[in-house]
């Protein structure tokens, strides 16, 4: 019994700005900093490989003194709207009805919502009253793939069922106005807001790329490298400069044993569907795989067009791959990284 991906969709907030348009806001934000520091921050934004980003708030609100409660209220309101929108779009793509879903997984780490997003979606779209819910939080950028792994395991154990994974993130809601650390600055330079939905099925009537295997990989003693610190002003980004190097050091253990378990080598993989964590991580991956004739052009393009949207971002890469309609038999490798520190992997076959 196989589990397939039926459809992928995305939803974007109404506000967006190019990086060039963001620079004047930096002048206002950094007005009390010295000129050398301001030039350094602008250089980080200009060199982040992000041409534009979307946001649930206007730039004026992002760079304002809105408090944690006010920002989180916007996160809740817009998260519900975006989650409903991308789920509805995915259902339309799949030609499914809302009542066809047996399992709903919602993932997010950039705000606090109790009840969780899935409860609102059940009511808004009138999903079945016996649908199984799983909200996934605190897994950061890895949670989109994590959600797919949880959905796959449920579907594998329950033939003929259908599941939705909805990722909704707003890193801009976590921006800290009075924090001039490199973590806050780099976060502001590379992150954007967005939502995505993946529909999966163990119904033999549904077609799409099959999930052949999935696996998680956990780094030891790396809990402090990435995440959020809960402060009185909100969620404060934690981002260690050693993240790209740490990923590079673990890459052989992350990729090759996983493929070997499935009788494959990297040369057997046709499509790399990698999470665009940031420019440095992309450069690290390109150095590792470029010599093997592999590219992550879709990953780079998603970063350029939208920035890093945490858990939703790799699903944007997956949607681009699905739209290209790979040939039957071609294989894809999904990969994302997140706090913990961890890597999540999925092996696909069209």
User: So what's the pLDDT on residue 279?
Assistant: 86
Q: Are strands 103-108 and 162-169 parallel, antiparallel or unpaired?
A: parallel
User: So what's the pLDDT on residue 250?
Assistant: 84
Residue-averaged pLDDT of the chain: 93
User: So what's the pLDDT on residue 33?
Assistant: 92
Establish how many alpha carbons lie within 13 A of residue 275's alpha carbon, considering only the half-sphere containing its beta carbon: 27
Predicted confidence (pLDDT) per residue in 179-204, tens digit: 999 989 998 999 999 999 999 999 99
- Percent of the chain past pLDDT 70, that is, above it, reads 100
Predicted confidence (pLDDT) per residue in 229-254, tens digit: 889 898 888 888 878 788 878 888 89
* Closest by Cα among 227, 229, 225, 254 to 242: 225
User: So what's the pLDDT on residue 240?
Assistant: 81
User: So what's the pLDDT on residue 247?
Assistant: 82
User: So what's the pLDDT on residue 99?
Assistant: 97
Predicted confidence (pLDDT) per residue in 52-77, tens digit: 999 999 999 999 999 999 999 999 99
User: So what's the pLDDT on residue 282?
Assistant: 85
- Residues near 163 by beta carbon (within 8 Å), at least 6 away in sequence: 101, 102, 103, 104, 105, 151, 154, 155, 199, 200, 201
In this predicted structure, the answer to whether residue 305 has a pLDDT above a threshold of 80 is yes
Predicted confidence (pLDDT) per residue in 127-169, tens digit: 999 999 999 999 889 999 999 999 999 999 999 999 999 999 9
Confidence of residue 283 (pLDDT cuts 50, 70, 90): confident
Confidence of residue 345 (pLDDT cuts 50, 70, 90): very high
In this predicted structure, the answer to whether residue 288 has a pLDDT above a threshold of 80 is no
In this predicted structure, the answer to whether residue 11 has a pLDDT above a threshold of 80 is yes
Distance between CA atoms of residues 230 and 222, nearest Å: 18
- Residues near 295 by beta carbon (within 8 Å), at least 6 away in sequence: 272, 286, 289
Q: Is the pTM of this model over 0.85?
A: yes
Predicted confidence (pLDDT) per residue in 26-52, tens digit: 999 999 999 999 999 999 999 999 999
In this predicted structure, the answer to whether residue 293 has a pLDDT above a threshold of 80 is no
Confidence of residue 125 (pLDDT cuts 50, 70, 90): very high
């Amino acid at each position: 019994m196989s589990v397939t991906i039926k459809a992928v969709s995305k939803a974007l907030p109404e506000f967006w700005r190019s990086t060039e348009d963001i620079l004047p806001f930096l002048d206002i934000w950094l007005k009390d900093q010295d000129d050398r520091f301001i030039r350094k921050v602008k250089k980080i934004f200009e060199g982040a490989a992000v041409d534009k980003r979307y946001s649930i708030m206007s730039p004026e609100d992002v760079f304002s003194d809105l408090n944690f409660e006010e920002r989180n209220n916007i996160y809740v309101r817009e998260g519900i709207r975006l989650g409903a929108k991308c789920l509805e779009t995915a259902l339309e793509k799949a030609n499914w009805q809302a009542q066809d879903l047996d399992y709903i997984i919602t993932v997010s780490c950039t705000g606090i919502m109790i009840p969780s997003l899935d409860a609102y979606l059940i009511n808004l779209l009138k999903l079945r009253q016996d649908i199984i819910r799983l909200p996934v939080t605190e897994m950061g950028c890895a949670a989109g793939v994590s959600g797919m792994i949880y959905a796959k395991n449920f579907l594998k154990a329950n033939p003929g069922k259908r599941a939705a994974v909805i990722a909704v993130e707003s890193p801009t809601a976590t921006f800290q106005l009075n924090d001039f650390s490199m973590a806050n600055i780099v976060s502001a330079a590379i992150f954007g807001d967005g939502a995505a939905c993946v529909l999966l099925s163990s119904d033999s009537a549904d077609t799409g790329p099959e999930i052949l295997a999935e696996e998680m990989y956990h780094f030891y003693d790396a809990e402090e490298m990435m995440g959020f610190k809960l402060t009185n002003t909100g969620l404060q980004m934690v981002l260690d400069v050693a993240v790209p190097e740490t990923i590079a050091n673990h890459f052989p253990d992350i990729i090759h044993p996983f493929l070997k378990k499935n009788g494959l080598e990297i040369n057997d993989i046709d499509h790399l569907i990698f999470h665009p964590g940031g420019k440095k991580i992309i450069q690290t991956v390109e150095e590792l795989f470029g010599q093997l004739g592999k590219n992550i052009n879709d990953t780079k393009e998603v970063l350029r067009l939208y920035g890093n949207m945490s858990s939703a971002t790799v699903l944007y890469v997956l949607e681009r791959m699905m739209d290209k309609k790979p040939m039957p038999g071609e294989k894809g490798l999904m990969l994302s990284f997140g706090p913990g520190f961890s890597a999540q992997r999925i092996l696909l076959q069209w």
